[in-house]
Structure 1
Amino acid sequence: MTDNSVRPYPNPFIRERADPQILRHGGRYFFTATVPAYDRIVLRGADTLDGLRTAEETTVWVKYPEGAMGSHIWAPELHRIGAGWYLYFAAGEAATATGDVWKIRMYVLENRNDDPLTGEWTEKGRIATPVDSFSLDATTFAHGGTQYLCWAQHDPGLEGSNTSLYLAALANPWTLAGDPVEISRPELDWETVRFAVNEGPYALVRNGKVFVTYSASGTGAEYCVGLLSADADADLLDPASWTKSPVPVFATNAAAGIYGPGHNAFTTDEDGRDLLVFHARAYEEITGDPLDNPDRHCRIQPFGWHADGTPDFGAPLPESE
């Protein structure tokens, strides 16, 4: 079960950083997230988890003034694959007379340096998918000797749906090895509030299972986290291998004053205890366009495990600062 008696963390952990990811690698912590201006990709590094809060933020890439990768720089994720660092992110075209800011596609940057905060980030290009449509929130994980990519994408043939989740093996960090399979689509009531959305996947392999969390519905108080699971020895590219939780596993906690938790990642503290990384707002009603709202702050809290081996995320904890 969730043990929230573990050392409490100050929340918000990092302000005005949505879609947060904290990666622990080589004894250091790295942080990236969406910035409210949607115009660049930033990284932080620190020797301790707490150190990320005040660590200098390094801009490693900025949007283009025209053409592709010119707007809506969203949801960067940092991953170490082999001897390289890779940043996955989504971007639209620049807001020019001929640009379409909603032509959101997935892109990859590479850095072969040991430290992702130094060295040169080079563009490896767009991740090509069989259907050229709205796509975002790429994440990657290795399992059973295969590197996988999981992401959210619009199926033009699926009426009334915004994005489903897809999974494919990778030939290299920026190229699919074969046709993707749909592993989840928004069909349940809690996945279709305001918008029919499955997005923001993140993988966790534990207890003989492969878990993929994802976010559902619109980005207001209705935003919540769902859970897919597959046996660790199953064919992950067979949609039948995946089981969806019938209820959200992490959702608004009005009593604690935390609304719309989602777009999560996982990390561990210095003692190896599991931590959930996510964003949420501290109020329910949003004034104006939600895309212009900077208050989806990064938050972290410990989580535990149910007796059946599935993660127990509990509920969002109240702010602590």
Structure 2
Amino acid sequence: MSWPNPFITQRADPFILRHADGYYFIASVPEYDRLEIRFAPTLAGLIDAQAVTVWHKPDTGPFSALIWAPELHHINGQWVIYFAAAPTREIKDGLFQHRMYALVCNDADPLSGNWQPCRRVHTPIDSFALDATYFAHQGKHWYLWAQKDPAIPGNSNLYLAELLNPWTLKSAPVMLSRPEYEWECAGFSVNEGPAVIQHGDKLFVTYSASATDENYCLGILSIDILADPLNLSAWRKSARPVFATSWDNQQYGPGHNSFTVDEAGRDVLVYHARNYTEIEGDPLWDPNRHTRLKYFHWREDGTPDFGVPPADHTSVP
């Protein structure tokens, strides 16, 4: 199977969940003002599926601006949307003012169900925080996100903690990664947008690095599946990016990925990228980070090979 590239236009930070009856898609919208979900029985069906708004930001308050990077998870029978939001669009001390939130729905259908009031996900540091993801591992529930530590230069580092429930941390966070290589510090020093996938005897965390222009790219961390995820020394970090801009294919700044599988169970990389570099003004307000999909494979040593971002094509070959 192949898909048109872009897969869905003007949807950044894409997340696709394969659940019992099909596929759910959620992403940042260019207006940064709402959370919308698409559902389709097939992966390709998401392209034309109706986008249903399940939550709209309030006019004022702590989560009334810049709704970023939502993810939809199904945790112990509950639907949970994680997202980041700010009280205003104002930048303070060089950063936006985002904090992390969770919405919970106990109904069977997340598109028509009743979503409970917004809950903040508190962390020990009250600072810029975003891009939370969830995964189950070793019989435990885990929360993985990006946050600014005022004591560490740069925009954001990656943190991991065990969950007590979908909106409450159970353990003290451990910092898994901070921007240190040149490719993580181009334009801005950033580690953000983590995504988790298991293969063989390893657990992998991909993440996005650098500014959101053509410098944006994916790095990767790995750990043995039997190791304690809160033991920092058990993690390994690649010294090189694993998915980056292709000048030949005119694909710029691929990143903020998630993972899914097609109907046959083949692994699919979900990500966004632009097809030009001439951005007028702040890249944040350029809407053309499009959702894209590509297959990837696993090397003999068990590590993923994401290849290069393929060029745009509007028809399925």
Q: Which residue of 2 aligns with 1:187?
A: 180
SS in 1 for 2:117: strand
Q: Which amino acid aligns with 2:78?
A: G
SS in 2 for 1:202: strand
Question: What are the residue-to-residue correspondences of 1:1-321 with 2, within 5 Å?
Answer: 7-94=1-88, 102-159=96-153, 161-321=154-314
Q: Which amino acid aligns with 2:146?
A: A
Tell me the CA shift for residue 124 of structure 1.
4.6
Asked if structure 2 preserves the Cα contact closer than 8 Å seen for 1:164 and 1:186, the reply is yes
Distance in 2 of aligned mates of 1:181 and 1:126: 20
Identity %: 53
Tell me the CA shift for residue 95 of structure 1.
5.3
Paired residue total? 311
Tell me the CA shift for residue 152 of structure 1.
0.1
Tell me the CA shift for residue 123 of structure 1.
2.6
Offset from partner CA, 1:199-240 (integer Å, 9 cap, x none): 000100111111000000000000000000000000100111
Q: Which amino acid aligns with 2:205?
A: V
Distance in 2 of aligned mates of 1:247 and 1:284: 22
Distance in 2 of aligned mates of 1:175 and 1:40: 23
Offset from partner CA, 1:8-32 (integer Å, 9 cap, x none): 2101000000000111000310000
Distance in 1 of aligned mates of 2:201 and 2:112: 37
Asked if structure 1 preserves the Cα contact closer than 8 Å seen for 2:83 and 2:100, the reply is yes
Distance in 1 of aligned mates of 2:117 and 2:212: 29
What root-mean-square deviation, in Å, do the aligned CA atoms of Structure 1 and Structure 2 show? Answer: 1.3
SS in 2 for 1:255: coil
Tell me the CA shift for residue 285 of structure 1.
2.4
Q: Which amino acid aligns with 2:199?
A: R
Of the structure 1 ranges 188-197 and 112-121, higher mean CA displacement relative to structure 2 is found in 112-121
TM normalised by structure 2 equals 0.96
Asked if structure 1 preserves the Cα contact closer than 8 Å seen for 2:28 and 2:70, the reply is yes
Unaligned runs of 5+ in 1: 1-6
Distance in 2 of aligned mates of 1:113 and 1:254: 46
Distance in 1 of aligned mates of 2:156 and 2:149: 7
Asked if structure 2 preserves the Cα contact closer than 8 Å seen for 1:267 and 1:277, the reply is yes
Tell me the CA shift for residue 138 of structure 1.
0.3
- Off by >6 Å, runs of 4+ in structure 1: none
Offset from partner CA, 1:223-278 (integer Å, 9 cap, x none): 00000000000010011111011100000011011000000000011111110000
Change (3 A) 1:319 1:246: same
Tell me the CA shift for residue 102 of structure 1.
2.4
TM normalised by structure 1 equals 0.95
Offset from partner CA, 1:97-136 (integer Å, 9 cap, x none): xxxx922000000011111111101135111100100000
SS in 1 for 2:248: helix
Q: Which amino acid aligns with 1:302?
A: Y
Distance in 1 of aligned mates of 2:295 and 2:176: 27
Asked if structure 2 preserves the Cα contact closer than 8 Å seen for 1:305 and 1:312, the reply is yes
Q: Which amino acid aligns with 1:19?
A: D
